[in-house]
Amino acid sequence: MIKLNVQDETSRLRAVVLGIAKSNGPTPKLEDAYDPKSKEHIKAGTYPLEKHMILEMEALNNVFKKYEVKVYRPEIIEDYNQIFSRDIAFVIEDKLIKSNILPEREKEIEAIQYILNQVDSTNIIETTSDIHFEGGDVMMWKNYIFIGTYKGNDYKDFITARTNMKGVNFIKELFPNKIVKEFDLVKSNTNAKENALHLDCCFQPIGREKAIIHKEGFRNENDYNYLVDLFGIDNLFHITKDEMYQMFSNVFSISNEVVVSEKNFTRLNNWLRNQGFIVEEVPYAEIAKQEGLLRCSTMPLIRD
């Protein structure tokens, strides 16, 4: 049996689901893409190739081996994108919460059923289809659960809006002892530089006290100020619009001391090292073309 335990984003990782790029399928048709960054690369003829994405995910897998993390992979579904395991479910404390994901992606949860079978069924939470959330929008820090959402009346018009207020309220009820704080994110179906697809595309805690943040990713400046007050301005690494587009905030913590980052994120990686972090650099720029990076392709199951 797998005894789920995830209390935050940065405690020592022991077990994780890492997505898989094998049999990823052909380049999607433009009308089938879910996010503006993928569309951009489909149009430009620069959409990532399966062979390159396999190599990138293997580089991340090798880092997990180095730190003796137990890695689970989804079962392969032919010609199907299964890279972003963070979207399909997420763990808070000892509960695994299944996302109500885009209908086109429902098979992804079936591919990890063998993992779910090893979890106490009373700890697997499912919801009704009107309650939306994805793991990229949900993160824990101390006694807080931070959740990205979109509060506009035109929510249904945005394929990039993945977590609604019903989803936020569901998590509030599930974890009454936590402080659940939602953040209203900037969304765009057409411009990747104006789109915070998930909360982890514009914010993420690292270590014990620090975080990476993109101020313009928040629709309401009060939400940004809330985080400044909580973390302290000196503990925040501010990223530009272009750095958000490259997914600088979507790194992944193996522990409070060790952060896995993309090897081209020079400014961030230098700052992390100056703050005392060990930075494990991996190539992930091809996967980034689908508007997801390191955090998106991992689903932690156990952290000490």
pLDDT classification of 282: cutoffs 50, 70, 90? very high
Distance between CA atoms of residues 15 and 71, nearest Å: 6
Residue 130, domain member (yes or no): yes
Residue 5, domain member (yes or no): no
Which residue intervals of 198-300 are DSSP H helices?
221-231, 241-245, 266-274
Q: Residue 61: give its domain's CATH number.
A: 3.75.10.10
Percent of the chain with pLDDT over 70: 100
* Best CA proximity match to 38, nearest among 22, 24, 59: 24
Domain total in the chain: 1
Residue 28 vs residue 17, higher pLDDT:
17
pLDDT classification of 285: cutoffs 50, 70, 90? very high
Please give the single-letter amino acid code of residue 256: N
pLDDT classification of 148: cutoffs 50, 70, 90? very high
Instruction: Give me 194's structure tokens.
Output: 């104006």
Please give the single-letter amino acid code of residue 22: K
Distance between CA atoms of residues 266 and 148, nearest Å: 27
Residue 7, domain member (yes or no): no
Residue 1, domain member (yes or no): no
Which residues fall within 8 angstroms of residue 58, CB to CB, at 6 or more apart? none
The number of beta carbons lying within 10 Å of the beta carbon of residue 285 is: 17
pLDDT of residue 273: 98
Residue 52, domain member (yes or no): yes
Residue 277, domain member (yes or no): yes
pLDDT of residue 156: 85
pLDDT of residue 192: 80
Residue 6, domain member (yes or no): no
Percent of the chain with pLDDT over 90: 85
| Mean pLDDT to the nearest integer, 102-114 | 88
Q: Is a pLDDT exceeding 80 seen at residue 102?
A: no
pTM exceeding the 0.75 threshold for the entire prediction:
yes
The continuous run of DSSP H or E covering 171 comes out as helix 165-174
pLDDT of residue 268: 98
pLDDT of residue 157: 85
Distance between CA atoms of residues 137 and 133, nearest Å: 7
pLDDT of residue 34: 76
Domain span holding position 219: 13-303
pLDDT classification of 269: cutoffs 50, 70, 90? very high
| Mean pLDDT to the nearest integer, 112-141 | 96
Residue 66, domain member (yes or no): yes
The continuous run of DSSP H or E covering 124 comes out as strand 124-125
Contact 176, 119 (CB under 8 A): no
